[in-house]
Amino acid sequence: MTNQSTLIFNPATGTQIDAVHSFTRAEIEDAISRAVDAQRAWSRLPIARRQQFMFDLADAIMQHREELASLESQDVGKPMRAALAEADSVAAVFRYYAGAIDRLTGETIPVDGGIAMTFREPVGVVGVITPWNFPLPIASWSIAPALAAGNSVIAKPASLTPLSTRRLGELAAQVTPVPDLLQVVTGSGAQIGGTLIADPRVNKISFTGSTEVGQGLLAASAATVKRLTLELGGKSANIIFADANLEKAASAAPWAVFDNTGQDCCARSRILVQRPALDSFLSAFIDATRALRIGDPSLLATDLGPLASAEHRETVRSFLDDELAVVYRGEAPDGPGYWMAPHIAVDETATTRAAREEIFGPVAVVIPFDTEEEAVRLANDTIYGLSGSIWTSDVGRALRVARGVESGTLSVNSNSSVRVQVPFGGFKQSGLGRELGMEGIRGFTEHKSVFISTES
């Protein structure tokens, strides 16, 4: 067996920081076999014992929060302040689903001739394939509910950023009552993902990544009728009406699109502004963007770090073509590292690539509109429907627009819409299924009905 490795680089410096083992097909198949045995043992444990493991893992995450945050910061280029907050959120996710285990209930249903009962049964072995932009938080969104529902998990982090998820697997192994309950496999996405999707012993795949890869997984899942949760791309709208608190909306807007250096499927990268407010909003938005601190991710004062790779930076730069009317170009370190400053453009027609395609980088496009109906039409003029925001002082308008926008997760007078207690997912080509909340744990179960005759 060849011991191959994937080299891992710090995007802030361009230097190698680790070499991670690349699993062979035989090793992946062995991991699946062990996951089958682990799931059987895990699902038979008392509820209290399973809850205790989840709480113990949450405690271990908090005990190692600085270590996990440091790995995330070095691996992704994520500012340390954000990485620490994300470690805290991961522990909160495991605690939430620890408390959800005994709330995963069925129903009793009166029917002719007897009574019917429903049960939520674990699906079995779950493959969790996660992206490189938020490695640890997004992994927890699937790993925690999958385990809570009685499944075993094989987690495949992105080849670019595997370090924090690998460490999570090590922490889980230290406190688990069942060996191989959570296994982390690293290496080629095509090989690992292809093996997991094709193997009938893997009952479900939870994938977060690009719409293109999600489409491939959906097609490949047909052979085994694999259960899928897909959280895919986005091109979310940030809708600013003229009656909104423009100062608050403008100060929040940079974080809505440039947080994590724009590498966020929820990024509100289309900023729709009602024409009477356009000039004042744009001026305040530029001022707020100029105040962002770009630099060394290890410093707590840093707001934005680098992009994840040199290749990705070139992809993002390709959107800054001659068609795009850029009105603001920020400043970022020259290098080493994969730096790119925030850019703000105005597109009156909403037809440029930057206005229509997912950029996954620090480029915002401001699009003017006149009426409420036009704002909804523009917001829906995309293949995606993941997230978005609505800023207005008119409650009726907020509700009308929220109901009209084809998106799975919206916020009003806020750019923060993701909560562990609330289902998260997209419309249209932004995905299938939901993560988080009780809806998230139900997605890792099969719904079973049992009829009991009461006839003599």
**pLDDT, tens digit (0-9, with 9 covering 90-100), for 10-60:** 999 999 999 999 999 999 999 999 999 999 999 999 999 999 999 999 999
145: phi then psi, degrees, rounded to nearest 5: -70, -35
Report CA 133 to chain centroid distance, whole Å.
8
Q: Which amino acid is at 286?
A: I
Pairwise CA distance, residues 301 & 298, whole Å: 9
CATH number of the domain located at residue range(s) 5-232+430-452 in this protein = 3.40.605.10
Tens of pLDDT along 321-357?
Answer: 888 999 999 999 998 999 999 999 999 999 999 999 9
pLDDT(3) > 80:
no
pLDDT tens digit sequence for 244-274: 999 999 999 999 999 999 999 999 999 999 9
What's the mean pLDDT in 207-211?
Answer: 97
Q: Which residues, at least 6 apart from 334, have a Cβ–Cβ distance to it below 8 Å? A: none
Residue 322's CB: how many other CB atoms inside 10 A? 5
Residue 337: count of CB within 10 angstroms of its CB: 23
- 231 flagged as catalytic: yes
- What integer is the mean pLDDT of 284-302? 97
d(CA 288, CA 249): 10
Backbone angles phi and psi of 19, in degrees to 5: -135, 120
Q: What is the mean pLDDT of residues 446-450?
A: 97
**Structure token digits, residue 202:** 């893997």
Average pLDDT value for residue range 47-75: 98
Contact 84, 69 (CB under 8 A): yes
At 329, is the secondary structure helix, strand, or coil? strand
Phi, psi at 54, each rounded to 5°: -65, -40
* pLDDT tens digits, 371-389: 999 999 999 999 999 999 9
Separation CA 387–CA 235 (nearest Å): 8
Q: What does the pLDDT look like over 391-433, one tens digit per residue? A: 999 999 999 999 999 999 999 999 988 999 999 999 999 999 9
Question: Which tokens sit at 121?
Answer: 């049964």
Give SS3 for 6.
Answer: strand
How many Cβ atoms are within 10 Å of 349's Cβ, its own excluded? Answer: 9
Rounded-to-integer distance, Cα 118 and Cα 116, Å: 7
Classify the phi-psi angles of 196: left when phi > 0, otherwise alpha if psi is within -120 to 50, otherwise beta: alpha
Those residues with Cβ within 8 angstroms of residue 413's Cβ, 6 or more apart along the chain or in another chain: 244, 245, 248, 249, 390, 391, 392, 398
pLDDT at res. 223: 95
Rounded CA separation 6/108 (Å): 52
- CATH assignment of 237-412, given 3.20.20.70, 3.20.20.100, 3.40.309.10, 3.30.300.90? 3.40.309.10
* DSSP assignments along 8-27, one per residue: EE-TTT--EEEEEE---HHH
Q: How confident is the model at residue 1 (pLDDT cuts 50, 70, 90)?
A: very low
Q: What are the domain boundaries of the chain?
A: 5-232+430-452, 237-412
Q: Say what the pLDDT of residue 417 is.
A: 83
Which is the catalytic residue, given 231, 357, 358, 446? 231
Per-residue pLDDT at 109 exceeds 60:
yes
User: For residue 2, is pLDDT > 70?
Assistant: no
Q: How far apart are alpha carbons 266 and 116 in whole angstroms?
A: 41
pLDDT, position 72 = 97
Task: Give the span between the Cα atoms of 138 and 132, in whole angstroms.
Answer: 10
pLDDT confidence of residue 322: 82
For residue 89, what is the enclosing H or E element? helix 80-100
Question: What's the rounded Cα separation, in Å, for the pair 186 and 170?
Answer: 13
- Cα 321 to Cα 35: distance, rounded to the nearest angstrom: 48
Please give the backbone phi and psi of residue 409, each rounded to the nearest 5 degrees, phi first: -140, 115
d(CA 193, CA 129): 7
Q: Is residue 340 within a helix (H) or strand (E), and if so which, with residue range?
A: none
pLDDT band at 449 (very low <50, low <70, confident <90, very high): very high
Q: What whole-number distance in Å separates Cα of residue 93 and Cα of residue 116?
A: 33
